[in-house]
Amino acid sequence: MAVSSERPAGAVTPRAGIDAPHGGCFVVGTDTGVGKTLVACALIHAMRRAGLSPVPFKPVASGCEESPDGLINDDTRRLIAASGRMLSQDEVSPYRYLPAIAPHVAAAEAGRPIQMDSLISHAAALAQQGPLVVEGAGGLLVPLDGRYTLADLAVALGLPMVLVVGMRLGCLNHALLTAEAITSRGLVLAGWVANRIDPDFERAAANIDTLLARLPAPLLGTVPWGPSPDPAAIRLSLPALH
């Protein structure tokens, strides 16, 4: 499938996307380390409670451990565990790299560039099995190679987006920028999650109110800060999956 990252200024690309008969969602964060994996796992649990059989997809995973079976990524492991499916690391995360560094740098160092077409066909195959729950890497405009970013992959997949906002100082700007980058590409922002990653963040409620007033999508839930959060215990509303 041909992918283009070129858009005329001000134009909104129509949403096309892969054939995903069960729908799904693409979980993107305001930054790295804001709780995308936690929220993606919580959404997988919520879907399973609703009788669905979600399939996780973590297209690019940098930061792995070596094992006799190859590179093991912890996000990928957590996503597979939440799904309850017998899936391999290769099936869920086709591009895994050892160091926890920017994906395009890891890919270049490993001599294994990220192929967009391959990621898209991989996602399309997984999407035949159930609702696809995609976890992005870092934030939305993280580069995947010399040309594309994660946003280009999101456009190619065409799934509704779920924005995880790491509630800390600076999150309003990060959340609003990310929402604008989503909607300006013709993607649907299906919901957002307020994740209380910083227990010392002052005026968190006022910040959540600000985002409630300004983000063009429903709040799916607020995740409290906790020493070891359990995704199965988090209660989130399900976003629209189509």
Ligand X SMILES: Nc1ncnc2c1ncn2[C@@H]1O[C@H](COP(=O)(O)OP(=O)(O)OP(=O)(O)O)[C@@H](O)[C@H]1O
- Is the Cα torsion angle 106, 109, 111, 117 positive or negative in sign? positive
Q: Which of residues 79-118 bind ligand X (CB under 6 A)?
A: none
Query: Rounded to an integer, what distance in angstroms lies between the CA atom of residue 184 and that of residue 174?
Result: 15
Catalytic residue among 36, 58, 78, 196, which?
A: 58
Residue type, 155: V
From ligand X, Mg ion, none, which one binds at residue 225 (CB under 5 to 8 Å depending on kind)?
ligand X
Stretch of 9-17, 73-81, 105-113, 165-173 contacting Mg ion, by CB under 5 A: 73-81
**Nearest by Cα to 218 from 242, 199, 197, 236:** 236
Tell me: does residue 37 bind ligand X (CB under 6 A).
yes
58 part of the active site:
yes
Which three-class secondary structure state does DSSP give residue 206? helix
User: Minimal distance in Å, beta carbon 29 to ligand X?
Assistant: 5
The only residue of 30, 37, 83, 178 in contact with Mg ion, by rule CB under 5 A: 37
What angle is formed at CA 10 by the lines to CA 8 and CA 15, rounded to 5 degrees? 80
Tell me: does residue 23 bind ligand X (CB under 6 A).
no
The only residue of 35, 131, 158, 160 in contact with ligand X, by rule CB under 6 A: 35
Tell me: does residue 34 bind ligand X (CB under 6 A).
yes
Tell me: does residue 138 bind ligand X (CB under 6 A).
yes
Residue 64 in contact with residue 73, Cβ under 8 Å? Answer: yes
Strands of the chain, DSSP E = 24-29, 55-57, 60-62, 64-67, 70-73, 95-97, 132-139, 161-166, 189-195, 219-223
| End-to-end Cα distance, the chain | 21
Tell me: does residue 59 bind ligand X (CB under 6 A).
no
Query: Rounded to an integer, what distance in angstroms lies between the CA atom of residue 7 and that of residue 213?
Result: 29
Stretch of 16-24, 111-119, 178-186, 194-202 contacting ligand X, by CB under 6 A: 194-202
Tell me: does residue 36 bind Mg ion (CB under 5 A).
yes
In the DSSP assignment, the letter for residue 233 is: G
Residues that bind Mg ion (CB under 5 A): 36-37, 75
Residues that bind ligand X (CB under 6 A): 29, 32-38, 75, 138, 195-197, 223, 225-226, 229
Residues carrying an active site annotation? 58
